[in-house]
A and B are shown apart, each in its own frame.
Chain A
Amino acid sequence: MNEHQQTLWEFMQQQADKLGVQTMQHIGLTFISLFIAVLVGLPLGIYITRKKQLSGIVLGIAGILQTIPSIALLGFMIPVLGIGAKPAIVALLLYALLPIIRNTYTGITGVDGAVKEAAVAMGMNKWQVLFKVELPLAMPVILAGIRTATVINVGVATLASYIAAGGLGEFIFGGISLNNTNMILAGAIPAAILAILFDFLLSRLQKLNFKKIKGAVRFAPALLILLSGLYFIPSAYGSKLTAGFTPEFMGRQDGNLGLISKYGLKIHTIVINDAVMYKAAQEKELDVISGYSTDGRLKAYNLIVLDDDKKIFPPYYAAPIVRGDALRKFPELEKTLNLLAGTITDSVMTELNYKTDYLHQTPERVAKDFLLSKKLYKPERGGHDAVVRIGSKIFGEQYILASMYTMLIKGYTNYDVATKTGLGGTKIVFDAMTNDQIDVYPEYTGTGLLAILQAPPQTVTRLQVSKDSTYNYVQAEFKKRYNIKWLKPIGFNNAYALMMREQQAKELNIKTISNLKRYLDSK
């Protein structure tokens, strides 16, 4: 890496357009939701000062809303409100409610009883008491609540990017996924400045004396609406289909950048979190999404993978890898593990993942059912010749594969098996192997190439052409560097993929990414 390290300033200058749009979206989201929260919270707060028996319930509910994790709240909203601005605004509004209701209630109940009594005794009706006495005197407390709500909203609005509502979260979460510090800071610093700025301005408003506050309060709604309007300015574009990509996919060469440079794909793209992306595709909020080709959700939500006909996504073929020592120690091992070679296709793996992830069957049951169907299953021999240690990473697919290997070894050999499943990420499981803690685990060619070997970009481009060249490269390099052997591939390729709803893809006759481009370009 002798490339010039880009500074934060350069990054911000280069991305000034995006930064401006995101900042405006951020301010807009914050204030639209704040405005509605005031419209709802203020009358509600006033109402519960009149009906004190309701105050406990109302404040309780607002308090519970406050404790729901933001991403969960956003997730709940998708089936009802879809993705984009609407659910984000509703979620932010719910977070802003508590401080506004509570401070309105506290402020009004805190007004000196003698002053209220004097107001009534002089012949004011209840509305005059409210508008001439209670609200003006409670205003500093109410403003403090609005101030708290504003700062909360600026913070939570970063999460709006999870559901494609834009805002500075796009940079922050994109930066985190891509391990790009400049990108994180380009989002985080403006967000922090916005929070500090609004907090400061509202604190000034709070400190104004009674005379000036009258004018300021009258001016505030207009300002709120103006700031809210910022959100709508940048969103005047569209295309026939809408794509939702994860922040990581957006920034990767073997992701959106590749789609643009190799395919010339021009599609209206929004940034969205992986957790809600599939659901949004099913709900027809999105038409094209980025995902993993063997994800169980493909089946759960009736999605199909578009063929990557120009090979921009590197292959991630799965194969068991074994330490050289272990192969010598357990002569029957290689033959046994290779029983599975070529048996599991993409669609089969998707089906198996679907069973564990969505039907909540145990990986053992899924593994056994599969082996039975392939007539590979044999009852345990109960041998104790030696112990083979099998590892796996911490996701469903790996658990299923580990279970299959366990059953095969116990059925076909006299070895016993110890499993060490759920080893965090690639680094953890691979370190376990090089440190002689495990003997075998399923790995992917792409991961081996990029994460473990960290092959240079030119090599990656060269190898991407076919699955065999990648496999051959990692096999040779692993042997040379680590004395680890890649056995035969299992068959499926768990790579990045573009997906669409099956029905829509059929209607539009789209099977490959090139088909998609042609459809988008046609008038």
Chain B
Amino acid sequence: MIKIDRLVKTFGATKAVDGISFEVNEGENMVLLGTSGCGKTTTLKMLNRLIEPDSGTISINGENIMEQPPELLRRGIGYVLQNNGLFPHYTVAENIAIVPNLLKWDKAKTQKRIEELLGKLHLDKKYLNVYPNELSGGQQQRIGLARALVADPPVLLMDEPFGALDNVTRSKIHREFLALDELKRKTIIMVTHDVQEAFELADRIALMDKGKIVQIGSPSDLLFNPKSAFVRDFLKEQHLQLEFKTITLNDIWQHLPPAAGDKNTHHLPAEAGVWDVLEKFKFSPKEHLDIINKQNKEVKSITFDELMAAFSKYKNHQAHE
């Protein structure tokens, strides 16, 4: 668990981070969201002491990080940068092996671990001996991720990790990111200015402005219970799309028609967001789509109109609560 208490950092006359406090639970994916200059990156870099705070404390698993030698602290925290920060004079294998070498792992162990990671990140072994400039942006970013994960650190800090990628590559990596079992066990703090990305990847989001946290909570908290006009305005433009992504079939299950479908055919699980179902309708010519609620094994067969009607009912219901 990471505990941040009354953290302050000023650069000259500007207060970049103005007394923020929050906690991140183990295994949680916390996204620091905000516009440029809101203090989110400064906050992140204080967690591995790339920037030293003026005041306040940070503890990871109960230990104050200011009392640890910074080099040792950093070797135990993975770090992914926006522009990947790969060493241009190191091959892919050498880049990934940086932390194991600092930790003085033996060669065989390092080699084994690197190959394992490459497999998980869908990278071919032939890339091991090439230099980063010979790779595509998406591949470089995967290597950057592998480098951060190689020593299996419990905490991962990510500074706009997908910011430099094009949209297609980014959504592909988002899916891999969510599917990667290595990441499921990790406590992740990620900085982004991309609202979509935050909603797709976060367990909780801390929305920041002018060095302070405006609201912290789950994506649906921010969406449906905004604490202030700032939060509402921040999400306004993409509100509908965010709703589609945030609301799952489980949420609207009771509003869907009771018609039972065939239990043996291929089903979409009810954890899926409305957005995913809409995409299925777009690519599938079928009028009916079978969905399954895994808890009570109930199967429903729905049409596009029924889905939209249920979504609308749910929304009305929310508004009256």
Contacts and interface: CB of A to CB of B under 8 A. Distances in A.
B88 A137 contact: yes
A358 interface: no
Best-surrounded residue of A114, A118, A123, A133 (most CB of chain B within 10 A): A123
A163 B131 CA distance: 52
A124 B102 contact: yes
A392 B79 CA distance: 83
B297 to A, nearest CB: 48
Contacts of B79: 118, 121-122
A16 interface: no
B178 interface: no
Contacts of A17: none
A6 interface: no
Contacts of A120: 50, 74
B310 to A, nearest CB: 47
A244 to B, nearest CB: 52
Interface in A61-89: none
Contacts of A235: none
B74 A121 contact: yes
A115 B72 contact: no
Contact of A124 (B71, B73, B85, B90): B71
A118 B147 CA distance: 10
Contacts of B71: 123-125
Interface string A412-449: 00000000000000000000000000000000000000
Q: How large is the interface on A (under 10, 10 to 19, 20 to 34, 35 or more residues)?
A: 10 to 19
Contacts of A115: 85-88
A124 B102 CA distance: 7
Contact of B87 (A121, A123, A125, A133): A133
Interface in B76-124: 76-77, 79, 81-90, 98-99, 102
A124 B85 CA distance: 14
Contacts of B82: 114
Given A122-B98, A122-B99, A122-B102, A136 B75 contact: no
A88 B82 CA distance: 52
A118 B87 CA distance: 8
B248 interface: no
B87 A119 contact: yes
A125 B75 CA distance: 11
Interface in B128-149: 131, 147
Interface in A110-137: 112, 114-115, 117-125, 128, 132-133, 136-137
Contact of A123 (B72, B83, B84, B86): B72
B74 A114 contact: no
B216 to A, nearest CB: 25
B43 interface: no
A114 B147 contact: no
Interface of B: 48, 50, 71-77, 79, 81-90, 98-99, 102, 131, 147
Interface of A: 112, 114-115, 117-125, 128, 132-133, 136-137, 210
Given A114-B83, A119-B87, A123-B75, 13 more contacts: A114-B81, A115-B87, A117-B50, A117-B81, A118-B85, A118-B87, A121-B50, A122-B102, A123-B72, A123-B74, A124-B71, A137-B88, A210-B89
